[in-house]
Every structure is written in C-alpha cells, then in structure tokens.
C-alpha cells in the first residue's frame, strides 16, 4: 500500500482521513464557520442496514483503492463507469464507512434532474400559504431545504461523501452545469440573496435544514462555500459521452466484471455458502456471462435462494438459470 494512501479497501473503520495531505493550492477552500458533523461517525445506527451491509462487504480492487486515494488527495470528483452490478455505488458507502465520514448523501439522477434540484429545494407555495394563514413574519429559509449536493458543500471539518448515481441518465446540460459548482466548491441561493438585499441587517445569517437531517445549519449572506471538499462519486453505466471539460476535472475509474477469484471473495463476504454449493454456480455464472451481460447480484440472489430452498443439485441449477437472465435484450432475443 503506498504511504500516501488514506483509503485502504480493508472495510475496517479507522481515522486515517485525519492524515489526508493538504490539498493542491488550486483546490484549497476556506468556507467558515465549520459546520458540526451531523452525528457520531462511529454510530452506524444512523445508516440503513442494507447500506451498512453494502459497505462492509464491498471488495475493492487495487486500482479502485489507488484512484479513490487520488481523488481524495486532489479534491476531485471520482467518475466511476462500468457495467451494471460491478459495485459502482457501493464504493461510496465503503469509503464513507472505512473513513468514518457519516451517512452517504445520495442524489439519484433522472432525465429531469437539474443542478438546482441537487443544491436546494424551495417551496414558494408553502410560504404563500403560511403568509396568508398567519400575519407573523415567515422567512424564506423556513420553506427551503438543502439538497444532497448543497449539503455536501457545507463547510464541514471533514469531507462528506456524495453519491451522484447514474449521471448518464441526465439531460445534456447537467454535466456542464456541475462544472462551476464542483470547480469553485461554492454556490449561491438566490432566494436568500434577495432576502438579504431587502433586509436592513447587512449579511444576515439564517438557519436552513440540510439533506437527511432535521438539525438546521447556518448560511450567511445566501452563499455556501465548502471547507473540506466532499468526496464525490459520480457513477455512469457508460451509455453516453461526457464533455471533455467535465472529464478533465474528474479522476476516472472504470470497473470491470470480476474474475473468478474476485467472485469467490464477493460471495464469501456476502454469504456463508459452502464451496461445494457456490463453486458450480460461480462457474455457471461465468459461463453465461461470456455470452451476455449479467450482474454480480444475480449470482448472489441465486446462491441465497438455492441455499434456503433445500432443493437437490439439479433443481438448484434450474432455479439458478431462471434467476440469472441476461440484462442485454439482444442476448435474450438470440436465446443465448
């Protein structure tokens, strides 16, 4: 392991993030004051059990460990591409757990996602309704909540982990829209800026709810600037090309289908399945994967279900075949 490594891929939590080298001069940020951590980083009760399991059982490759550390040290987003089922999103949870960075902030991308969706959500209708219902002052901040990207850029002492999942599903403009925010590590909230201009108090500080928390955070003068640049994992299934200006600002990792040794390690991490039962299905999975797209979780599903049903070997094989259909419609149509 290189001496500069912070993330090891061991799945053993440690405080190595505190030894992260200083950022390059062009990636240093100075957001202040420091926002307290959202919870005790060692308390996994704040994280859903399925995500804890994914983090504990993730099997990292040497290449992924090296490039995660490169992204952490350079304070750059990590663009992870690869076929479905290769653990692109699980990588974010594994890094967050090992380095004690708290719950992962997740932004699931659709064709309708915009940059503002990730930064914050403002509900003007609820503010209008509140104003009509009560003559008391009702500030704009009471109807605004930060999104996952907006929360990740708060001035935390340690970086938060942000998962931007399936970026290739976005419209053509979103990657370019992300460029400035990820480059500058800051953003403005126009609704708060307008309120600040209308206020007699210069530069008021307001309290706003953050993503995944009911504890408000302070925002001064309508601007958020990070202190520790978040560890941003952008995932893509490789279904589209991204602009060169976007790509040059990312550290890029391509995950490949696991080989037999890696599959055996993944199965061991997830399931306590005897080798006599696991090996034949692993071999069958690899045989079928040579002719079409399969995801690793299809193998895990087959191993788990055949293990709890008590079927004989022949019946287990038939059931496994049904649980491992090709993800590629062309392969299915050809009867491969």
Convert the pLDDT of each residue in 220-265 to its tens digit: 888 999 999 999 999 998 888 999 999 999 999 999 989 999 999 9
- What percentage of the chain exceeds 90 in pLDDT? 49
Looking at residue 331, its pLDDT comes to 52
Which residue has tokens 């005790």?
A: 40
Q: Which residues contact 27 (CB under 8 A, 6 or more apart)?
A: 74, 75, 76, 229
Contact 99/6 with Cβ under 8 angstroms?
A: yes
Looking at residue 336, its pLDDT comes to 47
Residue 48, pLDDT > 90, answer: no
Convert the pLDDT of each residue in 167-185 to its tens digit: 999 998 999 999 999 999 9
Looking at the DSSP bridge assignments, the partners of residue 105 are 162
Beta strand 105-108 with 161-165 is parallel
Residue 313, pLDDT > 60, answer: yes
Residue 289, pLDDT > 70, answer: yes
Cut 0.85: pTM above it: yes
Looking at residue 46, its pLDDT comes to 58
The most confident of the ranges 17-21, 50-54, 103-107, 264-268 is 103-107
Convert the pLDDT of each residue in 105-142 to its tens digit: 999 999 999 999 999 998 655 555 555 556 554 577 67
Q: Nearest Cα to 325, choosing from 277, 292, 280, 281? A: 292
């Amino acid at each position: 392991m290189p001496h500069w490594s912070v993330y090891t891929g061991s799945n053993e939590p440690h405080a190595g993030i505190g030894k992260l080298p200083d950022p390059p001069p062009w990636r240093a940020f100075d957001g202040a004051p420091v926002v307290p951590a959202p919870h005790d980083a060692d308390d996994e009760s704040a994280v859903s059990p399925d995500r804890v399991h994914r983090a504990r059982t993730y099997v990292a490759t040497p290449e992924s460990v090296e490039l995660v550390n490169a992204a952490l040290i350079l304070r750059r987003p990590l663009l992870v591409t690869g076929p479905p089922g290769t653990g692109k999103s699980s990588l974010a949870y594994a890094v967050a757990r090992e380095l004690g960075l708290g719950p992962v902030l997740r932004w699931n991308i659709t064709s309708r996602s915009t940059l503002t969706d990730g930064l914050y959500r403002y509900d003007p209708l609820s503010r209008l309704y509140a104003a009509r219902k009560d003559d008391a002052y009702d500030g704009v901040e009471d109807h605004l909540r930060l999104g996952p990207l907006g929360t990740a850029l708060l001035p935390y002492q340690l970086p938060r982990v942000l998962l931007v999942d399936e970026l290739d599903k976005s419209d053509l403009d979103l990657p370019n829209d992300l460029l400035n925010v990820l480059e500058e590590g800051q953003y403005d909230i126009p609704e708060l800026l307008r309120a600040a201009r209308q206020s007699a108090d210069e530069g008021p500080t307001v309290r706003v709810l953050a993503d995944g928390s009911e504890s408000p955070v302070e925002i001064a003068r309508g601007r958020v600037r990070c202190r520790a640049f978040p560890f941003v994992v952008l995932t893509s299934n490789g279904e589209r090309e991204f602009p060169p200006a976007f790509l040059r600002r990312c550290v890029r990792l391509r995950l490949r289908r696991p080989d037999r040794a890696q599959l055996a390690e993944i199965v061991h991490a997830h399931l306590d399945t005897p080798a006599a039962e696991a090996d034949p299905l692993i071999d069958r999975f690899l045989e079928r994967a040579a002719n079409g797209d399969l995801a690793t979780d299809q193998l895990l599903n087959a191993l788990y279900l055949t293990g709890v049903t008590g079927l004989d070997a022949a019946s287990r094989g038939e059931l496994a075949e049904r649980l491992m259909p090709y993800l590629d419609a062309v392969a299915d149509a050809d009867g491969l």
